[in-house]
Amino acid sequence: MSAESLLKSGSNANGAQHFGAYLCDDETTQQLVPVLNEREWDTSLVKTGGIESAIRTLSTIGSPQYLLVDLSNSAEPEEDINALAEVCEPGTMVITTGTVNDVTFYRNMIACGVQDYLVKPVTTDQLREAFLAAEHTLRTPVDSVVNEEDNDKEKIISFIGVRGGVGTSTIATNCAWILAHEKKQKTAFVDLDMHFGTGALSFDLEPGRGLTDALENPSRVDGLFIERAMIKESDNLSILGSEAPLNDPAYTDPAALNHLLIEMKNNFKCVILDLPRTIVADYPMLISETDEVILVSDLSLAATRDVVRFISYCKSVAPQVKIRILLNKVSGPGLVEVSKKDFEATIEQPVDWEIPLDSKLMIQVARSGKILSQAAKNSKASKIMHTICDNFSSSIGDAAQGNIWEKIGLAKRA
């Protein structure tokens, strides 16, 4: 059976289902169908009967990777969730829905280890986001969730836009702000575009000559120099950049860049690099000194090609570096050059995050004079950026708590 046939049937190569649903009403089913069509999952995988039917059925067959279960008819939801856990295989991500609209009930469900609980009536958008979040959880390496020792280390994160205009600087500045203000990490944002960088501008600050001075006088770069050269946006966020004249030379001394990165790492918990794609090949230490590379792309043919090239390059100069893929400004189906499915098949790596195109929101944010995470904290784009930061913030060390679902939520990813 081909991979396409497997996806459309909702099964994997071993015959186990990718998806299953046990619902109690037609309205929820109708809202779910568009999500199934987008993922090319068979609608016949939606069964009736709620959680009791799920427990009875899954006790005799293999459980799916993604499971949607209705709790509406359950007299003892927590007991039924425990029973469901006993019949599910490692790796199952359970999303629940029901009629109880109570914060304590929601917290109890999450404490039991389910991925999410949605209050009925649910919408297609809510279901879509729930499956996206579950998908991301499965793809997140266990060591980035539960290894507190690794999370306590200083980190350099490089954001690279594979094409111009994909929104890399916007994402990088917002992640730096979230880490500093909400994760309470001592964070440095370094805008390595000396001539056209917009990092400081995003925070309504003047960039100064800090980066230029640091690269022209590497022997002077130490903790005191960095403190004076960087612009403080707040107690936890400092910005290093320049607005060099267009006739000034670009980088010339790789050793100066290397020394600067080492000193930055010694003085900050997290260093965010907004790294122009045009200088990456000439200065491979920018990748080798990085802990994680976030490649920002859109779904264009040219970007798809360049993501492949960047992944190959990064693996050649720094095989140990984690490479994550972020799709930005994603339009609806039929409005992109390359489908997400074809994009992932071409780059031979799953997409980690996907931010939809919202031109109206970005115009409103620009007019507000604030960055997105300040002006529209509850927007979908902001929530995704918070998820990105969770992956390299030390504040997530306690995210994995032991419960009856530990074997289900974590074992398959181990």
| Domain residue extents for the chain | 3-139, 147-396
Query: In this structure, what token pair is assigned to residue 298?
Result: 């859109």
Q: Determine contact, residues 67/92, Cβ cutoff 8 Å.
A: yes
**Matching residue, tokens 């009629």:** 99
Mean pLDDT of 379-386: 87
- pLDDT band, residue 147 (cuts 50/70/90): very low
**Matching residue, tokens 């936890």:** 236
Mean pLDDT of 305-321: 92
**147-396 is classed CATH 3.40.50.300:** yes
- pLDDT band, residue 153 (cuts 50/70/90): low
Q: pLDDT higher for 90 or 205?
A: 205
**Is pLDDT at 264 greater than 50 in this prediction?**
yes
Phi first, then psi: give them for residue 154, nearest 5 degrees. Answer: -70, 145
| Fold for the domain defined by 3-139 | Rossmann fold (3.40.50)
pLDDT at 303: 94
Mean pLDDT of 334-358: 90
Among 23-27, 46-50, 198-202, 339-343, name the one with the lowest average pLDDT.
198-202
Query: What is the rounded CA–CA span in Å between residue 23 and residue 187?
Result: 46
Task: List strand residue ranges (DSSP E) for 4-161, in order.
Answer: 19-23, 46-48, 66-70, 93-98, 116-119, 155-161
pLDDT at 144: 44
pLDDT at 335: 83
pLDDT at 236: 92
**Is pLDDT at 407 greater than 50 in this prediction?**
no
pLDDT at 396: 36
Q: Determine contact, residues 118/96, Cβ cutoff 8 Å.
A: yes
Mean pLDDT of 263-279: 90
- pLDDT band, residue 251 (cuts 50/70/90): low
The answer to whether the predicted template modeling score (pTM) of the entire model surpasses 0.85 is no
Q: Give the mean pLDDT of the chain.
A: 82
Q: Determine contact, residues 344/350, Cβ cutoff 8 Å.
A: yes
Q: How many residues does the chain have?
A: 414
Query: What is the rounded CA–CA span in Å between residue 323 and residue 409?
Result: 23
Same fold: 3-139 with 147-396: yes
Query: What is the rounded CA–CA span in Å between residue 255 and residue 104?
Result: 56
- pLDDT band, residue 305 (cuts 50/70/90): very high
Q: pLDDT higher for 152 or 389?
A: 389
pLDDT at 405: 54
Region at 91 (left for phi over 0; alpha for psi -120 to 50; beta for the rest): left
**Is pLDDT at 242 greater than 90 in this prediction?**
no
pLDDT at 393: 58
Q: Determine contact, residues 17/45, Cβ cutoff 8 Å.
A: yes
Helices 380-392 and 124-139: crossing angle, nearest 10°?
10
